[in-house]
Amino acid sequence: MSEAIASKEERLAAYYANIAAAEKDPSLSPATGKPFDKVTIARFGAGFIVFGVLWMSGLGIVSAVLLPMHYKTIEGVNPDALIGIVNAFTAVASLIANLMFGNFSDRSRSKHGRRTPWILFGAVLGGVTLFLTGTTHNAVLLTIFYCACMFGLNCMIAPMVAILSDRVPSGIRGTMSAFYGAGATIGSPIGTMLGALFIKNLIPGFAVAGVLMFLGGVVSVLIIPKEESADFLPKDEGSFKDVLASFRPPAFHGAHDFYKAFVGRFCMLVSYQMIAVYQLYIIQNYIGQSVEDSAVTVSVVSMIMMIMSLVGSFIAGPVSDIIGRRKIPVIVASVLFAIGIAMPWIFPSSMGMYLFAGIAGLGYAVYSAVDQALLVDVLPNKEEAGKDLGILNMATTLGQMCGPIVMSALVVNLGYNFAFPTSIALAIIGCFFIMAIKKVK
């Protein structure tokens, strides 16, 4: 018994020594205290990009195409209003889930690691409920299934993002963030293209979406090097009150940059969601295309965004590591995104949407490639990375919630000509908050 205890004590001492070494040397992993070899870099990079591509493709099939079409089959509701209401509920679910599962994974002491069990559980929950969302014409039940899907999705995302802090050397964190961001930015247009194929045959499309989300968690865990056991870490002996207290965000006086990053990300995501969620309606209602023509336009837009995502993601991350800068790529990306949003507003045509895809697609790809690394760099406490990254990623879920609500309110009451400039303004405001961060260059 004493030998087993001594072994755990030695592992705990090595754990803290590795973290301390990694803080001094950006080439060392916080988990092992050693640099990554080329195979390990490739496995982490592949795991991050596959994760993003698969879950985002699955969600994109539903959120960008199938769900807006499915809303139109529900009798007695206004689809424009329903899309805002459903997204509000599901984003609240995401808000809770991101913080909850990030914190739970921080506190886990499984022999399979702190993050892996939650990623696999989330894959099952997210995949099954995403499919079920398309099987009902009851608006309340649909909302419940979609909320459950967001719980599953964020049960994967929160621990997966924490791996950047737990295991990836800070010197290549921008590159790994780029792989993570590339997966999501590539997966989104792939999902939209796949959704367009099922625009008149919804149920099989929802089934494909559910399978892709499920595979996102499972395949990424298989690709990334196996997580070490966490059974040697000190177990939390606190009361239920202490557990609740652990959800508290960092104190503002010592984490100004943390909250600037939060607001900057929130503004950008509101801007992005305003356009992304309403993309099909913009094409059909603002530009005036038929269902058949809009399917073609959506596919072309998605193809352009996928190409720009590949270009932006794989250039921005490594460049950020080479120049040692996080803020500059994020600021440039925000400006590009704002310019892209203006294109369909100024040119309400297929060409306007294609220009949006090219310019805003590049901007969002660069933003996504570097943003996660920037978020990790502003963390006030590495030991609570899962929880604190969950708080920062709440900016994403809040953006997902507020974007459709803002867009719905503007479109219904004032029209698209008020919605586009609002989206542009939010992207620029987010840019100013990122510029104000002091801890990160």
Domains and CATH numbers, the chain: 15-231 (1.20.1250.20), 250-440 (1.20.1250.20)
Confidence of residue 224 (pLDDT cuts 50, 70, 90): very high
Dmax (CA) for the chain in angstroms is: 75
Q: Residue 172: its pLDDT value, please?
A: 86
Of 118, 120, 147, whose CA–CA distance to 132 is shortest? 147
More confident residue, 244 or 269: 269
Q: What CA–CA distance (Å, rounded) separates 16 from 108?
A: 17
Confidence of residue 310 (pLDDT cuts 50, 70, 90): confident
CB 154 within 8 A of CB 98: yes
Confidence of residue 254 (pLDDT cuts 50, 70, 90): low
More confident residue, 241 or 420: 420
Q: Which residue has the tokens 């919605």?
A: 419
Contacts within 8 Å (CB) and 24+ apart, 302-306: 302/188, 302/189, 302/190, 302/192, 302/193, 302/196, 302/357, 303/189, 303/193, 304/189, 304/354, 304/357, 304/358, 304/361, 305/185, 305/188, 305/189, 305/192, 305/357, 305/361, 306/186, 306/189, 306/190, 306/193
Q: Residue 2: its pLDDT value, please?
A: 42
Confidence of residue 1 (pLDDT cuts 50, 70, 90): very low
More confident residue, 177 or 11: 11
Give the gyration radius of the chain's Cα atoms: 21
Question: Dihedral (C-alpha) 15, 393, 435, 423: value to the nearest 10 degrees?
Answer: 170
Of 401, 300, 352, whose CA–CA distance to 98 is shortest? 401
Q: Residue 243: its pLDDT value, please?
A: 54
Confidence of residue 386 (pLDDT cuts 50, 70, 90): low
pLDDT digits (tens, 9 = 90+) for 59-111: 989 987 898 888 888 887 778 778 778 877 887 888 788 778 877 887 788 88
Of 4-18, 149-163, 238-252, 280-294, the least confident:
238-252
Q: Residue 3: its pLDDT value, please?
A: 42
**Average pLDDT of span 407-416:** 82
More confident residue, 88 or 31: 31
Q: What CA–CA distance (Å, rounded) separates 186 from 155?
A: 21
More confident residue, 342 or 404: 342
Q: Residue 239: its pLDDT value, please?
A: 47
Of 37-46, 73-82, 201-210, 351-360, the least confident:
73-82
pLDDT digits (tens, 9 = 90+) for 148-206: 999 999 899 888 888 888 899 888 887 887 788 778 777 877 888 898 889 888 999 99
Range ranked top by mean pLDDT from 97-111, 212-226, 272-286: 212-226
Q: What CA–CA distance (Å, rounded) separates 328 from 316?
A: 10
Is pLDDT of 397 > 90?
A: no
Is pLDDT of 4 > 60?
A: no
Phi, psi (degrees; rounded to nearest 5) at 28: -100, 145
pTM of the predicted protein model: 0.72
DSSP 3-state assignment of 226?
Answer: coil
Q: What CA–CA distance (Å, rounded) separates 398 from 95?
A: 7
Of 430, 265, 250, 237, whose CA–CA distance to 335 is shortest? 430
Q: Residue 36: its pLDDT value, please?
A: 92
DSSP letter, residue 168: S
